[in-house]
Amino acid sequence: MNNPLSKRILFLQVKDQDSEAYGKFYDLYVERIYRFVFFKVNSVSDAQDLTSEVFLKVWQYLKEGKEIKNLNAFIYLIARNSVIDFYRQRNRQAETLAETGQLPEVPDETQDLLKRQIVGSDLENVLQGLNGLKDEYKEIIILRFLDELSIAEIAEILDKSKGSVRVLLHRALTALKNNVKEHH
Amino acid sequence: MTNKELIKGLQELKKLEVGGRPQAGWVLSSRQILMSQLNPKATVSDEAKNQSFYYWRYFSGTFRQRVFQPVGAFLLIIFALLTYNATVSVASASLPGDMLYPIKTAGEKVQLALTFNDESKVKLQMNFVSRRADEMQLIAIQENDNNRKSKKIVQTAKKITQDNKSLKDSLGKISMAANKPAVLEVAKEVDIKSLEIKQNIATVQNSLPEAVKSEVKDEVKEAIVTTEAVGTSALGVIVDNYKTGRANISGQEVASRVAERIKSTEDDIKSASNEVNDVISVVSGTAPSVISTSTSAIKLVDVAGSSTTSTLQNIVQKPQQAKEIIEEAKNLLGQKDFSSALEKIQQSKDIVVNVVSNAQNIVNEIKEVQSINTSTENLLLINSNKTGSQPTTTSLTTGESTKEILIKR
């Protein structure tokens, strides 16, 4: 589905609420959306739940007959808003737990297990460097180098001009390089 | 770590779960759950599911968006340009007071706003002033009604004055950056054109009927004065360029331009002398009672007597003074002292403007008093007819504006 024309046709089918086409759309975007969410929540289970939620939300939106101009940018927008809602909810829960005197949330063990796989390698430095970046930088690095989106696509998603995306990307890459150097 | 290595690292990372790769099992199960939750739109027809239908929809949409819309916009722009050009070219023949004249001036404003080069802006402003002078000429020829003629000429003359002021400012601005040869070229053009325009306005003024001439005199005079001021400024720029050697201009060329300006000033002095003679003839042909009630004329009357500080005497002497100053300018020109010559020309011009203005004031005042006295005399005549008494000269001397003065003749 790398062919842009096929992608456009698929989007038209999705907008027509074709469930089969939506399945293909899921196949095309699931990895990207999962990764986008995963780096924001830093937990496999939360990323899985949120990703499933994102695809369902987009479908519901389509079913309501609302117009979506750019499906590509729209799904990232829904993903971003879902993460924001997730954090809001978690903060509320933490406040409630603190008030009731219950124990704080246990860290995600799967994540720790996964990290152990790359201990001591260069990739560990890269991962630590990436996680040490501020959200804005982390997001643009993921979109450009992990999801391999074009500058134009990123500009659409982030609702920024191509020029400012280039500037932001340059700064993010420099910051990442510095972080990696520190961890080396 | 280089950028390349870093990017390679990131791409390696994404292949791992720790780098955000979702677990294959979860991807499948999540898909199944999602598909079971979807409630596909019942109305999606077989036609809609057909791939070719979507290809057609995509291409027609793209064609409309990428071809029809830009072509439509392009045609719209072409149409707007054509109609704009047609309207402006029709309006270019219009004269002040015509329906299309505001379009003509608006077009000029647009043209000026779209000119970003300062030198080109000055040239354009000069052309507009020249256009106004041509319009004045056409009004003088084409308009038959004297009232309308006066009104339109006053309007045009005011516009010339206003445009000349902006032109002079723009000229001052570009003269600061006098290193550019273009500045000298513009100054040369303004120098020549201002002389032509001044000449044209003066010709129009002389061709006007007496009734119109007196109505428009002040505004036309102001238009001529400001045109001359623009010309003198331009000549100043030329002389300055010659003096500092910033631009390539020969002393001979500067000399001929200064000589032209001297000649133009000499013509003005001649006109000023004629005006003064007119004033003298008006004064000498005016009844003593009229002169006695005119505040300016009070001093004029003294001319016939002994006072040497009178206004008229001053006015009479002024053209001579201007002439002497212009002679000094000629001498300075002979010595190739162009800057000083230019200063003398300016001094002489100032005197001429002052003389013309004062002379006109005196004539106006006498005429005004003359008309008041005529109406008062008529009134007294009616009263005397009623009472049987004789009107006397002293009975005119009522109020603050009238004064009883013994006339020495």
The pLDDT mean for chain A works out to 82
pLDDT for residue A130 is more than 60: yes
Q: Which of A127, A130, A180 sits opposite B1 (nearest CB)?
A: A180
Q: Which of A12, A18, A52 sits opposite B33 (nearest CB)?
A: A52
- What pLDDT is attached to residue A111? 56
Which one is predicted more confidently, B70 or B185? Answer: B185
* Inter-chain CB proximity B19 and A146 less than 8 Å: yes
Q: Which of A26, A117, A146 sits opposite B20 (nearest CB)?
A: A146
- d(CA B318, CA B351) in angstroms, rounded, equals 7
Q: How far does CA A151 lie from the centroid of its chain?
A: 17
Q: Which of A34, A52, A184 sits opposite B20 (nearest CB)?
A: A34
The pLDDT mean for chain B works out to 78
Q: What is the ipTM of this complex?
A: 0.81
* Inter-chain CB proximity A35 and B19 less than 8 Å: yes
CA dihedral A57, A61, A64, A66 (to 10 degrees): 170
Q: Which of A144, A146, A148, A179 to mutate to test the interface with B (most CBs of B within 10 A)?
A: A146
State the smallest CA–CA distance between residue B114 and chain A in angstroms: 29
- d(CA B1, CA A184) in angstroms, rounded, equals 10
- What pLDDT is attached to residue B26? 92
Q: Does A128 touch chain B (CB under 8 A)?
A: no
CA distances from B126 to A126, B197, B273 (A): 68, 10, 30
Q: What is the pLDDT of residues B116-157, one digit of tens each?
A: 888 889 999 999 999 999 999 999 988 888 888 999 999 999
Question: The tokens of B248 are what?
Answer: 């390539």
- What pLDDT is attached to residue B404? 37
Contact A16, B41 (CB under 8 A): yes
CA neighbor of B280 nearest in space, from B211, B361, B354, B363: B363
State the smallest CA–CA distance between residue B17 and chain A in angstroms: 7
Q: Which of B8, B15, B18, B63 to mutate to test the interface with A (most CBs of A within 10 A)?
A: B18
Tell me the mean pLDDT in the region B90-110. Answer: 85
**Residue B350's CB: how many other CB atoms inside 10 A?**
13
Q: Does A115 touch chain B (CB under 8 A)?
A: yes
pLDDT for residue B77 is more than 70: yes
pTM for the model stands at 0.49
* Inter-chain CB proximity A18 and B48 less than 8 Å: yes
Tell me the mean pLDDT in the region B257-263. Answer: 90
- d(CA B344, CA B325) in angstroms, rounded, equals 6
**Residue A40's CB: how many other CB atoms inside 10 A?**
22
Q: First vs last Cα of chain A: how many Å apart?
A: 38
Tell me the mean pLDDT in the region A112-137. Answer: 75
| Residue-wise burial string across B2-18, b where 16 or more C-beta atoms lie within 10 A, e elsewhere | eeeebbebbeebbeebb
> Considering only alpha carbons, which residue of chain B is nearest residue A41?
B20
* B11, HSE (Cβ side, Cα atoms, 13 Å): 10
* Inter-chain CB proximity B35 and A23 less than 8 Å: yes
Q: What is the DSSP letter of A146?
A: I
Q: Does A1 touch chain B (CB under 8 A)?
A: no
pLDDT for residue B354 is more than 70: yes
Report A:69-108 residues touching B (Cβ under 8 A).
none
Classified as helix, coil or strand, A54 is: helix
Classified as helix, coil or strand, A118 is: coil
pLDDT tier, B298 (very low <50, low <70, confident <90, very high otherwise): very low
Q: Which of A118-127, B64-73, B75-84, B360-369 is most confident?
A: B75-84
- What pLDDT is attached to residue B302? 45
* Inter-chain CB proximity B17 and A114 less than 8 Å: yes
Q: Which of A23, A34, A173 sits opposite B22 (nearest CB)?
A: A34
pLDDT tier, B394 (very low <50, low <70, confident <90, very high otherwise): very low
* Inter-chain CB proximity A146 and B13 less than 8 Å: yes
Q: Which of A22, A52, A126 sits opposite B9 (nearest CB)?
A: A126
State the smallest CA–CA distance between residue B5 and chain A in angstroms: 10
